[in-house]
Amino acid sequence: MSTFQFKGQTAFYRGKVRDVYTIDNKWLVMVATDRISAFDVILPHPIPFKGQVLNQIAAYMLNACKDICPIWLLDTPAPNVSLGVKCQPFKIEMVVRGTLTGHAWRTYQSGQRTLCGASLPEGLKEHDFFPTPIITPSTKADAGHDEDISPDEIIAKGLATREEWEQLCHYALALFEKGKLLADQQGLILADTKYEFGKIGDTIYLMDEIHTPDSSRYFIKEGFAERQYKGEKQKQLSKEFVREWLIQNNFMGKEGQQVPDMNETWIQEISGRYIELYEKVIGSPFHREKLTAEELLQKIENALAQLKA
């Protein structure tokens, strides 16, 4: 993936999977690359079409949720590119959980009954639904691992005021309800997800990407209750299969561990799984689009020129 230089560019940030360009300190150009990360580590090989999959799911979901709160997105000038307003981000990830899954389940298994200030009821099995969705925030780390944090700590550390925190919770829970509804229409259960927010003046905006397989976990609805009852493994749509492969190959992002080799067959399988995720989450066929760096640059520059006109 090329690094571009745009007219009026005031900053550039390379994230784990996205390259973000700031234009005139007012707009962001977010390029979703084919990089893939797990356990906060970028894996050595890009996954074909992954950037397009994530960008197009995120754009679809953001536009579906813009009746709930202001969104940062203005345009998607290319398959893997989003253009939107620049916000001052809250350094918090709003993690919403509908089921006792993943990190929440590992916490529960260890005997703890609170997570980030949220109560975890007794007598639950892995993947059981909470009585109502819970919010388990984490700090948004500039580098390394994100850390669990409670609402009281968020307010005490000045990461958000009490009023802002209440507004963030209101938006996050409303977005999760909409996400569950959209998932249900496709025969899926939205188990958990994360949202990121920022501000322009006094207005809070929904930022980044939402309801994608990188930020969310989906279960297959058909047979879910029966599998739960029998204690069988749930069928899920997420990049958990990549994490499971890494664990099987003795990698969990810990110091001294070596990222396992990824052969071409496995790379193509991951690509195929991401495309399958797109089609199941969106409910329409995926159309592969591959642009040259020059074509991509031209599309972004045209969109920026239109924005500035």
Domain with CATH 3.30.200.20 in the chain: 9-88+266-308
Written as six digits, the tokens of 8 are 């009026």
CB 288 within 8 A of CB 268: no
Cβ within 8 Å of residue 47, ≥6 positions away: 34, 36, 267, 270, 271, 274
Which amino acid is present at 35?
R
Determine how many CB atoms are found less than 10 A away from the CB of residue 206.
25
Q: Taking residues 8-24, what's their average pLDDT? A: 93
- Rounded distance, CA 216 to CA 189, Å? 11
Q: Is the pLDDT of residue 74 over 90?
A: yes
**For 128-186, how does the pLDDT look when each residue is reduced to its tens digit (9 = 90+)?**
999 999 999 999 766 556 799 999 999 999 999 999 999 999 999 999 999 999 999 99
Q: What percentage of the chain carries pLDDT values higher than 90?
A: 83
Domain with CATH 3.30.470.20 in the chain: 89-237
- Rounded distance, CA 51 to CA 47, Å? 8
pLDDT at 143: 55
Q: Calculate ∠ Cα 163-168-92, nearest 5°.
A: 105
- Rounded distance, CA 167 to CA 207, Å? 15
Determine how many CB atoms are found less than 10 A away from the CB of residue 159.
18
Domain range 89-237, its CATH number among 3.30.470.20, 3.30.950.10, 3.90.1150.10, 3.40.50.2000:
3.30.470.20
pLDDT at 243: 87
**For 78-117, how does the pLDDT look when each residue is reduced to its tens digit (9 = 90+)?**
999 999 999 999 999 999 999 999 999 999 999 999 999 9
pLDDT at 309: 78
Q: No. of H helices and E strands in the chain?
A: 8, 18
- Rounded distance, CA 115 to CA 149, Å? 9
Q: Is the pLDDT of residue 2 over 90?
A: no
**For 129-138, how does the pLDDT look when each residue is reduced to its tens digit (9 = 90+)?**
999 999 999 9
Q: Is the pLDDT of residue 1 over 60?
A: no
Domain range 9-88+266-308, its CATH number among 3.30.365.10, 1.10.238.10, 3.30.200.20, 3.40.228.10:
3.30.200.20
